[in-house]
Amino acid sequence: AQSVTQLDSQVPVFEEAPVELRCNYSSSVSVYLFWYVQYPNQGLQLLLKYLSGSTLVKGINGFEAEFNKSQTSFHLRKPSVHISDTAEYFCAVRGYSGSARQLTFGSGTQLTVLP
Amino acid sequence: NAGVTQTPKFQVLKTGQSMTLQCAQDMNHNSMYWYRQDPGMGLRLIYYSASEGTTDKGEVPNGYNVSRLNKREFSLRLESAAPSQTSVYFCASVWGLAENTEAFFGQGTRLTVV
């Protein structure tokens, strides 16, 4: 079984400030890691993913995330946020094999960018 | 190229009624998923289908059934709707593993059971 914990349900931040959204996971097998974004009344779209290799991955809209295996974390960062980044962000994991191939999501973090 | 299409977009049911949510993808993906999204709980997996002809229970399968009709279509059925099933339902599809493991989502079905 695998699980994902997003440590903050709400993150308010002022425009042009940096932001970090935290994600920790647990799994008995190796996993792929993802961040998805959901804008109001829409489905989810992929921001970035970690499959293997370099632990720092870059995604769309200036976001990046760092995989830390020892801390089982995959935190999302952006150095300077815009009003348009206001959305809900979901961390997710998917195992390599068996039932762990389920795509498991965290509970989400609502990012609100204030003017 | 439509991606993942869900129908209907909105539905109101009375307690005890039945309905089927439809999902179709045109990307030739192998795996398909049904999730429900509730405030503060993220997306919870109801059922998934790793490949055509197979289905497996997820985290919250009670009260639901699924059919993987063919490679394109994966339907979710509520046999006797309950107010606790009021939620937003998302269908997703994935091509496979490794580099092709990104999930694509439909726009969601907003279901209210009264």
Instruction: Tell if the CB–CB gap between B45 and A103 is shorter than 8 Å.
Output: yes
Mean pLDDT for back-to-back runs of 10 residues, chain A (115 residues): 91 97 91 92 90 90 94 96 96 77 88 96
Q: What is the nearest CA distance from A78 to chain B, expressed in angstroms?
A: 21
For B43-70, what is the mean pLDDT?
Answer: 92
The number of beta carbons lying within 10 Å of the beta carbon of residue A45 is 15
Instruction: Tell if the CB–CB gap between B108 and A43 is shorter than 8 Å.
Output: yes
What gap in Å lies between CA B86 and CA B77, rounded to an integer? 14
What pLDDT, on a 0 to 100 scale, did the predictor assign at position A91? 96
Listed by number, the residues of chain B in 80-109 with a beta carbon closer than 8 Å to a beta carbon of chain A are 90, 92, 94, 97-99, 101-103, 105-108
Asked if A90 has any chain B CB less than 8 Å from its own CB, the reply is yes
**Dihedral of alpha carbons A10, A16, A17, A19, sign:** positive
Strand-pair partners of A78? A19
Q: How confident is the model at residue B78 (pLDDT cuts 50, 70, 90)?
A: very high
